[in-house]
């Protein structure tokens, strides 16, 4: 599934699958010639990524450390985060690099939601990877927002 569609989350826990069986969801054949709306764009995105250098480079990793810029709606706010991400694409910990004060660290207890934010097949991730040591050093220097 992850190799066929970009930016998807695969749910395979028995409890969740059982709960979902009562949701009256549409089914799609992964190898079908045409895909339902929504899946067609995710398949096209994955197909476009497939031939690029770095495609699937991290697909077998359990943890990935990244330096990632988030561009918000105004071009002036381009925040940089160091992120520790699990194989499911969810953040485990992150450090927000600030320009004027101490860097800020946070973890899932600080976030109201923690959806997958990283697709381990995405070839763009190759240029964002940092080492564990760089992340851990930043984590130790950073302060928790509540401590400020």
CA distance 64 to 58: 8
Q: State the pLDDT at residue 73.
A: 61
Q: What is the pTM of this model?
A: 0.82
Q: State the pLDDT at residue 72.
A: 62
Low-confidence ranges of the chain (pLDDT < 50): 148
Q: State the pLDDT at residue 148.
A: 47
Cβ contacts of 91-95, under 8 Å, gap ≥ 24:
91/117, 92/63, 93/135, 93/139, 95/135, 95/138, 95/139, 95/142
Q: State the pLDDT at residue 18.
A: 85
Q: State the pLDDT at residue 50.
A: 94
Q: State the pLDDT at residue 75.
A: 57
Q: Which structure tokens are listed for 23?
A: 């949701």
Q: State the pLDDT at residue 80.
A: 92
Q: State the pLDDT at residue 123.
A: 96
């Amino acid at each position: 599934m992850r190799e066929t569609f970009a930016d998807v989350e695969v749910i395979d826990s028995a409890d969740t699958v059982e709960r979902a069986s009562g949701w009256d969801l549409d089914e799609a054949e992964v190898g079908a010639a045409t895909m339902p709306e929504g899946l067609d764009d995710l398949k096209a995105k994955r197909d476009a990524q497939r031939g690029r250098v770095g495609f699937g480079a991290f697909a077998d990793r359990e943890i990935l450390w990244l330096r990632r810029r988030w561009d918000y709606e105004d071009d002036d706010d381009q925040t940089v985060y160091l992120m520790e991400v699990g194989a499911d694409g969810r953040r485990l910990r992150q450090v927000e690099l600030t320009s004027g004060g101490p860097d800020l660290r946070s973890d899932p207890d600080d976030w109201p939601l923690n959806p997958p934010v990283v697709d381990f097949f995405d070839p763009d991730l190759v240029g964002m990877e940092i080492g564990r040591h760089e992340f851990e050093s930043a984590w130790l220097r950073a302060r928790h927002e509540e401590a400020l």
